[in-house]
Amino acid sequence: MEQLEEHSWRAAARAAFPVTIPVLTGYLCLGMAYGLLMQAKGYGPLWSVLMSALVYGGSIQYVAITFLTTAFDPVQAFVLALMVNARHMFYGLSMLEKYRGTGMARPFLVCTLTDETYSLLATLEPPSGVSRQRFYTAVSLWDYLYWVIGTALGGFLGMLVTFDTTGMDFALTALFVVLFLEQWKVPENRPAAVIGLACTALSLTLFGATNLVIPAMAMILTVLLGQRRRLLCA
């Protein structure tokens, strides 16, 4: 029985790895950039790896570098973290059905639901013969490991090499663009992508660049719910 269990997990890991390769390339670069930036600010590999392993927040980790190097304002930190990560509330709502019946793995799946993992799991179904719970867990675990390993590599590299890190945080934006283009290749995903772009542009116009995230996500959710049947039939 234990051998069958082990074989099942291996099958899930093997099935999940190929689909996570785009995230592997992105997370290694992003994680290294984050580790380098932390090192440049005086925080060694241990601190950056702990941040990635415990926070695992991507964009908020980049923002947190500023909090670590300036006078700390807890209210500002809370509000900014809420705004930056508010989109995850909408991700979570849309994954309720996907994560139904995942049992003991559900807390881990919830905690590791990043933008890139969501992009994969929202459109993927497990291969024939592979448990849905284990497949989703394997995808989430691979992505988590890529981020932590990339951070460690960047932290240790920063100890050995010193160079100008200006603009390195743009790697996160670049990954979002790549993921968007990957989704755009699938014709069925294009209506949702257009809705996202239109709502974001409207939110930017109405609320400005510093306050657009939550209103944009609210608009997107409202429109998607209103157009749900039409999108599903497209």
* Residue 19 CA, distance from chain mean position: 15
pLDDT digits (tens, 9 = 90+) for 159-168: 887 767 677 6
Between CA 65 and CA 45 the distance in angstroms is 14
pLDDT digits (tens, 9 = 90+) for 196-234: 889 889 989 998 887 777 788 788 878 877 766 565 555
pLDDT digits (tens, 9 = 90+) for 27-62: 998 899 889 888 888 888 999 999 999 999 887 888
Interacting residues of 70 by C-beta distance below 8 A, sequence separation 6+: none
pLDDT of residue 52: 94
Q: What H or E segment, with its residue span, contains residue 116?
A: helix 115-121
Radius of gyration, alpha carbons of the chain: 19
Average pLDDT of the chain is: 82
pLDDT of residue 59: 78
154 against 73, higher pLDDT = 154
pLDDT of residue 184: 81
